[in-house]
Each structure stands twice: as structure tokens, then as C-alpha cells.
Structure 1
Amino acid sequence: MCFFSMGGNAHNTSETQVQRIAVAGGSITEIIYRLGEQHRIVGVDSTSVFPEEAKNKPLIGYVRRVATGGILSLEPDLFLGEADTGPLKVIQQLQRMGLNMYLFEQQDNLAGIEDKITKIAQLLKVEKKGQALVEEIQPDRLALQHILTQATYQPRVLFILTARSGQTIAAGQGTSANEIIQAAGGINVTGSLKNWQPISAEVALQLNPEVILTMGARGTANAEKVKNMPHFKHSIAVKNNQVFSLDGGYLLGMGPRTPQAVVEVAMIFHSQAKLPEHYSLRYASTNQTPAVIAKQNKGD
């Protein structure tokens, strides 16, 4: 059986097309569906929630806590995982057992989405489908650059992962949210922190962000919850109605929809910018920003 190592330096030595794939990572599942090869998926992790029908696949656990038995019971001939797939002891067990495997480390970021798509298409031996999907997201990349060339100001942005019982978890450097903020032309007000970190009410008051982004399922009540928190309700963001809730998989998943999500965030940051003449959002966006999107799509 062929073996794929972790990282970007593995080589496919098998001439047999894989037919049974176990997946740990929502972006990988989404890409396989977009390639039209979902019939080969025999199991997914709990982050694989898009498209909706992916939820009907057998579960192998959470991406960071997959189980050896759960994976092997599905008899996969290929296991694909994102960079944070774990725990390490399970990966090592699967390696020792000779499972055909590839973990995406180098491509698991915003800049690496095209490479991730290309690699998955290669592993599944559907390279033409992969190239078509790569080409499909290029208008999003160009639209982002078009917005950024018109930007005259970088807003101060706070990204909140959760805000429960007064405990706010914010995005620091090394997080996908920090990468998105910077790519969209903003300044992360908690960029001096590392990874996801809790911040106190006192710190939150001092940050006084101009824009607050929070993660919800396609625009849930998270934004309203944040607006009513004592340490944010007097912030510039709340006063100017610049608190937005976006679907986590759409924005941070680093899958085919993420480049459009970054365009949407850039439109929030730079509301006076215009989108390219023939560009339009193809996927469902957060329900928090319909007016902004409508205005930009019309070019008003």
C-alpha cells in the first residue's frame, strides 16, 4: 500500500485510483464535494458540515481527536487530514499500520488554497476537475486586490471566537482569523497576542475596535450578543453598527469559499470601495451585511 507522509513532500506511488476516503477537516470534505467525488468519502470528522449532505457521512471524531478504530473500521484506502489532525499518537498508529495518508500542513492557509485543491485532485486523479475549481476562485482573488487598491484606511479590528459568561476569546497572531484580517486590509487589535487568547473586560474596553467580527453559523445572534456586552457596547464598532457575525467554515475554513469570504470582509472594512464590474458573490454570505453587499454589487 502506498504511503503519504505529513507535509507537502509526499509522492503517490500507486497506480490504483483510491475509492474509499476518510477525511479529517471540513475544507477537504468541501473540496472533494466540489470536485464531484463525494461518492468516494466513507467517513468525515465533525467539522465537515458543508455542504449539508456531508453531515450524513459516518463520523470519525473531531479533527483534533480522531480515533484509530473509527477510521480503520471504515476500511479506507486513503486518509486525508488538515494540519491540526490528531492526536499525534493516533497518526503514528495509522502510519505504523501502513494506512495510505496525506496531512495538509504547508497548504492549510489562505495563500495555499489553490495548492490544496490541486493536491487533492492529484491524489484522486481528477486533475482537470481540480484545475477548473482553481480557476473558479480566481475572480475572488482579483476582486480582493481591486478593493485593496482603493483602500485609504486600515480599520482596527477585533475578531472574537467565543464570548460566553463574560469570557472573550480573541484572535492573536498565528490564527486563521488574524490572517483574514490582514488579507482584507485591517489591523488586528489583538495581534500582539499569540494564537487564541482570553481577554479581560478591562482589556476589551481599552481596545475600542472600529470593527468587530465574530463567528456564528451563517450570521447567528452572536453579533447581537456581543453588542450587548458591557465591555463592547460603548465601543466605536457598536456605536457605528460595525459588528458582524460570519459563518466559521465559510470564513476560516480555508476551502473554496474562503476567498469570497475575504472579499466580503474587505467590503466591510472598505465600504467606499467598488467591486469589479462583473464580479458577484456566488455563495451565501453572512446575513449581517446584505446592504453592503447589495450596494457593492450594484456599483453604487
Structure 2
Amino acid sequence: MGDPYPQRIVCLTEEPTEVLYALGEQRRVVGISGFTVRPPQARREKPKVSAFTSARIDEILKLQPDLVIGFSDIQADIAQALIRAGVEVWISNHRSVDGILGYIRRLGAMVGAAERAEAYARRAEAHLDAVRAAAARLPRRPRVYFEEWDAPMISGIRWVAELIRIAGGDDVFPELAERPLARDRILADADEVARRRPDLILASWCGKKFRPEQMAARPGWQAIPAVRDGELHEIKSPIILQPGPAALFDGLDALHRIIATWATRSDGRS
């Protein structure tokens, strides 16, 4: 009996590509998203057939996939077109840290690599625990505003808020983080950020260059502790805004470095 698992997988977002490469299953990947940067090898060797909200359906069909993997309702139209063409499609919709861990395990099982996926997920869990323990030793916790987009202003999604807490901070918009859709996390009133007085502002503008000077110049923001103290930091979107391994490893580490530096500085500002 031959390999019963999918042989020709097209990944419409980066996280399935990263997971499959991490599990040693890259031979199954025949097409990737143009936004893929992790791992660099994938970008070099696999054809790019999609963006995030659009895809070259004809090019995907030419690859003769036996499975296409995408993410969220935002890719529903792509999924529908492929399903109508007779392609099997899996659209995941996880939005939390636990969801990312479950995704790794499910994807591994789908390609016959359940044991390796379990080991990989456990390594991620151990990393989360190690950072959580380091954060517990910090002398104080900052209030953190995470901005996913600037016009309109959109606050961070759930897994980002959870990683901020694990890294040692507290998201200032926890009620918005629970909302899965970006449109439901739009801040209608920029003054609300000022009222919540974040100690740190972290930004990841979905691949657009972060402009801290523009943020600092927003009306009424000069009194925000983070702006006053120059605590405006960029987190690169590939390591924080995709719900995959990058967020649990590099993204979490980047958050913790910034938070730990703030928490342990000697001047005692708050």
C-alpha cells in the first residue's frame, strides 16, 4: 500500500507551510502563499499561487492538488471556487494559543506525522511555559496596547493578547481581543487608547512599515506613558500576525524582550 495521505498540498497562508516543513513533510507542498517568508527555503523552492484574500485559481488547479489548506472566513471565496472545481479544501479558523497548538496536531495527523506533530506541539508548550515562568519573575507588568493596523486603528487579535500576557504584560483592550474579526476590533475613538494609558505600544501593521513618529503625533497621545517614554516598538508581522509556530516562538520572544526591558529598567518610571 502506498502513502495514503495527501501528496500535493497547496498552502494559502504561511502557517501550514511552516508546520509541514518543521515536520519534515515539505515534499508534499506544491504551492504556497506569496506572503510566505518562513521558512526561507519554501519561498525559494515552491511556486507562489495566492495572496491572502485572492488566489490564482487556474495556477492552483494546474498543480493538481489533492488538498488545499487556508485560514479563516477571509479566504471563503477562494475556498468556494476550489471546491466548485472539485478540490478538497481545509479552512482552519483558530484564533488562540491553544488553537495554534491544536492546529499543529491536526495538520500533522492529516499527513501521517501525528507523533512528530505531537512532539513539536509539546516543544512549543514547553517554550510557552519557560517564557511564562520568566515573566512571573519580572518586578512589574506593563499595560500594553497592540495595534494591528493604523487606518482605521485595529487592536490585537486574541492569540496576540494571550501571548502578551504570557510574555509578562496586560493587553489594554482585552474585551476587543475576544472578537475574531478585524472589523470588530476597530477603535472608533483614538482617545480611548490615551484613557487606558498603556506603558508600551507595540505595532504590527500587517506588513506596512511602522511609523512611530506618526503614531506619537496623534492628537492627545503625548501624555500616554508609552509615547512620553518613547516606548513604541514594532513587532514584524510574519512573526506575530499568523496563527502558527512563528507566533509561539519568535513572536513570543520578541514580546518578552520588550516587556522585560521595560520591567527591569532602573529609572522606575510608570
- TM-score normalized with structure 1 length: 0.70
* Aligned residues of 2:138 and 2:263 also touching (Cα < 8 A): yes
Q: Tell me the amino acid that sits aligned with residue 146 of structure 2.
A: F
| Counterpart check, 1:112 vs 2:96 | no
* Aligned residues of 2:200 and 2:226 also touching (Cα < 8 A): yes
Higher helix fraction: Structure 1 or Structure 2? 2
Instruction: Quote the residue 1:123 is aligned against.
Output: 110
Pick aligned residue for 2:9 from 21, 35, 51: 21
Instruction: Quote the residue 1:47 is aligned against.
Output: 35
Instruction: Quote the residue 2:20 is aligned against.
Output: 32
- TM-score normalized with structure 2 length: 0.77
Instruction: Quote the residue 1:161 is aligned against.
Output: 148
Quote the offset at 1:225 in angstroms. 4.7
SS at match of 1:137: helix
> Cα RMSD over matched residues?
3.3
Identity %: 23
Q: Tell me the amino acid that sits aligned with residue 190 of structure 1.
A: F
Quote the offset at 1:72 in angstroms. 1.6
Q: Tell me the amino acid that sits aligned with residue 231 of structure 2.
A: Q
Q: Tell me the amino acid that sits aligned with residue 105 of structure 2.
A: T
Alignment of 1:208-219 (within 5 A): 208-215=197-204
SS at match of 1:141: helix
**Structure 2: 5+ residue stretches without partners:** 266-270
Alignment of 1:7-156 (within 5 A): 16-56=4-44, 57-84=46-73, 86-88=75-77, 90-105=78-93, 107-151=94-138, 153-156=140-143
SS at match of 2:245: coil
Q: How many angstroms apart in 1 are the aligned matches of 2:198 and 2:132?
A: 24
Q: How many angstroms apart in 1 are the aligned matches of 2:171 and 2:153?
A: 14
Q: How many angstroms apart in 1 are the aligned matches of 2:203 and 2:29?
A: 31
Alignment of 1:233-248 (within 5 A): 233-248=222-237
Q: Tell me the amino acid that sits aligned with residue 48 of structure 1.
A: T
Quote the offset at 1:254 in angstroms. 2.4
Q: Tell me the amino acid that sits aligned with residue 226 of structure 1.
A: M
Q: Comparing 38-47 with 62-71, which one deviates more in the overlay?
A: 62-71
Q: How many angstroms apart in 2 are the aligned matches of 1:116 and 1:192?
A: 24
* Aligned residues of 1:28 and 1:82 also touching (Cα < 8 A): no
Change (3 A) 1:177 1:137: closer
SS at match of 1:111: helix
Q: How many angstroms apart in 2 are the aligned matches of 1:64 and 1:122?
A: 27
| Counterpart check, 1:177 vs 2:160 | yes
* Aligned residues of 1:158 and 1:170 also touching (Cα < 8 A): no
**Structure 1: 5+ residue stretches without partners:** 1-13, 275-290, 292-300
* Aligned residues of 1:24 and 1:45 also touching (Cα < 8 A): yes
